[in-house]
Each structure stands twice: as C-alpha cells, then as structure tokens.
C-alpha cells in the first residue's frame, strides 16, 4: 500500500478460525510473535468454535481499492473478541489475535479493527473489554492506549503476557 492512510474500502468479515484465510492470518501472527519473543513462546491455536456469536467473533480485515487495480489489497489483518467470566462491571469480553500485515501497519487498519471489535462487544452487552500482551509489543501498546485501554491487574495466567489492559464500556 502506498501513502500514509488506507485508501479504498475496508470491510470486516466474520470467520471461523478453521476458515483457510483466518487460519493463514493467525499462523502468520503466531510466527511473527515467536520470531521476536524473548524465551519460549507458547501459542495456542484457537479451535473452530472459539469465537462464535453471541459470545465472540473473529474478524478478518479486507481492503479493496477500486481506483487502482495494482494496489496492494485483500486480507490485511484479523482480530477477535470472546466472552470470558464476568468482571466487576458485568459482561467482560477479551480481545485476542489483533494482527495487521506489515504493509498495512501505521495506516489505521488496527484502529478500525479495534473500533469494530468494541462495537460488536457493545452490541452483545459487554461492560468491559480486556486484553493481555507482551511488553515488547510497543506499537500494540500504543494502539491500545489510543483506543482507550489502560493498564489493569492480570486477569489470567497467560505465560506469553507481561501486560494487561482494560477498558470500561459505558
């Protein structure tokens, strides 16, 4: 993609983790994480029913640009939410597998994805969003801060996480 913003149309498509496109993106995400992870990275591939409505959704980000047939387009990322045990505010959803391909980074796709995941969680009655990440993912931490997440106490025992974030939904 050229330029500093996404030009064209961004759409979101719900998919099962077993969908070939979703599987490809999740495997890419895990491979990238493993390559820069200090120590042993222990990913767990989500099962085919891991993100099923109304308790979750896995979204694929697709980019189309009708004006330029040569522009990079197609699948540019993914992200998911899933309902977990209620928190102090009530219904709690966890953000998972937020990933944009390198060519799409810095163009706003991650922000659009986070907004869409939050919109869907709200539609299902979420009162809180949480996520875990690793301190080496500074760009991800910046995205989470820009979308209203703040540090919280750990809510799980993910061995790959060193930071936990939350966001109360009004």
Residue 73: band (very low, low, confident or very high) from pLDDT cuts 50, 70, 90: low
Q: Which of 35, 22, 56 is nearest to 124 (CA)?
A: 56
Q: Which residue has the higher pLDDT, 84 or 67?
A: 84
Least confident of 8-12, 53-57, 67-71, 124-128: 67-71
| CATH domain 9-168 topology | Aminopeptidase (3.40.630)
Averaged pLDDT for residues 92-111? 93
Averaged pLDDT for residues 85-112? 94
Please say whether the beta carbons of 126 and 86 come within 8 A: no
For residue 92, the 8-state DSSP code is E
Q: Given a cut of 50, is residue 9 above it in pLDDT?
A: yes
pTM for this model (two decimals): 0.90
Mean pLDDT of the chain: 90
pLDDT at 70: 40
Domain ranges of the chain: 9-168
Sign of CA dihedral 49, 127, 153, 85: negative
């Amino acid at each position: 993609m050229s330029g500093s913003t996404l030009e064209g149309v961004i759409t979101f498509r719900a998919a099962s983790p077993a969908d070939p496109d979703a599987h490809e993106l999740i495997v890419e995400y895990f491979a990238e994480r493993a390559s820069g992870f200090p120590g042993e990275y222990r990913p767990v591939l989500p099962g085919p029913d891991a993100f099923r409505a109304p308790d979750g959704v896995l979204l694929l980000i697709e980019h189309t640009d009708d004006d330029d047939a040569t522009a990079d387009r197609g699948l540019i990322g993914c992200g998911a939410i899933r309902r977990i045990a209620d928190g102090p505010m009530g219904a709690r959803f966890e953000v998972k597998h937020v990933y944009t391909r390198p060519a799409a980074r810095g163009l706003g796709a991650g922000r659009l994805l986070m907004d869409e995941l939050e919109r869907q969680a709200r539609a299902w009655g979420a009162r809180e969003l949480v996520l875990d990440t690793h301190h080496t993912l500074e760009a991800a931490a910046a995205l989470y801060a820009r979308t209203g997440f703040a540090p919280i106490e750990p809510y799980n025992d993910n061995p790959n996480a060193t930071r936990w974030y939350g966001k109360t939904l009004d």
